[in-house]
Amino acid sequence: MAERTAPSALAARLTGRTTTGERRLSGTLTEVTLDDGRKLLVKLGDGPGAARAEAAGLRWLAEADAVGVPTVHGHDGNRLVIDLVNQGAASAGAAARLGAELAALHGAGAPAFGAPPPGGPTEAYIGRAPMRNVPGGDWPAWYAEHRVLPYLRRAVDDRTIRPAEATLIEEVCARLPDLAGPAEPPARLHGDLWNGNVLWGADGRARLIDPAAHGGHRETDLAMLALFGCPHLGHVLDGYQRAAPLADGWQDRVGLHQLFPLLVHTVLFGRGYAEQALAVARAALGP
């Protein structure tokens, strides 16, 4: 099996270079050094098809020529080989640049809401949770059916959210056409843009890793950055707004876009995130 091949041997085969060493970083990550001094990362995927999905997502983001992402050298089985990012400190300037780059990425577009990257599977992942990329033409209906409700049903089945509580989130889904704001074309999303997936490069440019890339609403990426905190978030948003202003009322819609990742985290990590999802739903429905 491919997973039994040493990480250095896999990196050598996919790059055509000799390797000079490898260092285990975690149970799923290995750093490999090439003979020219470059360092690569060999990553074991979270589930079947995860490496393929991540490779396709990174390449799709790179094709937009907008945001920084690690170069993909290939994948084999459930292992992915990419460049290792030389990390530095976050700065206001790098954050503003990231905002402008995200605006350009989103503007590169997607064929439809839910469209997977070229070569990417329908059955993809967001973190360790399965995520289906099923295309749709109307964002409110697609978001409810393919992003919010599948995780709500799983949370109810797991008894993490009570059936009586689920009706609150179902009401948000029913009212999405009125709550979603002006219609937007499908944007090319990173799809899992929490702070841990933003690496601040030593060269002053951010790199995005671990995408759950798909066609979606551009406010979703920004809402996820806000949900889990991001250094210099105000500068990210300023840079974005200067490049591609968001529609009026976007601040009031942040919670709608956070509902999806909060329900994913409810399924993965339990009741604490369920409480946050329910609070977001109450706020979206208003008094």
Please give the positions annotated as active site.
192
- Rounded-to-integer distance, Cα 242 and Cα 246, Å: 9
> Residues 202, 87: contact at Cβ < 8 Å?
yes
CA angle (85, 26, 268) in 5-degree steps: 95
How many beta carbons lie within 10 A of that of residue 19, not counting itself? Answer: 19
DSSP 87: B
Residues in the chain: 287
CB half-sphere exposure, 254, CA atoms < 13 A: 11
Strands (E), 17-122: 19-24, 29-34, 39-44, 72-76, 79-83
* 281, amino acid identity: A
The SS3 assignment for 172 reads: helix
Structure tokens at 93: 């300037």
- Rounded-to-integer distance, Cα 96 and Cα 232, Å: 8
Which residues, 6+ apart, have CB-to-CB distance to 202 below 8 Å? 86, 87, 88
- Rounded-to-integer distance, Cα 125 and Cα 48, Å: 10
Structure tokens at 117: 């990257």
- Rounded-to-integer distance, Cα 14 and Cα 128, Å: 26
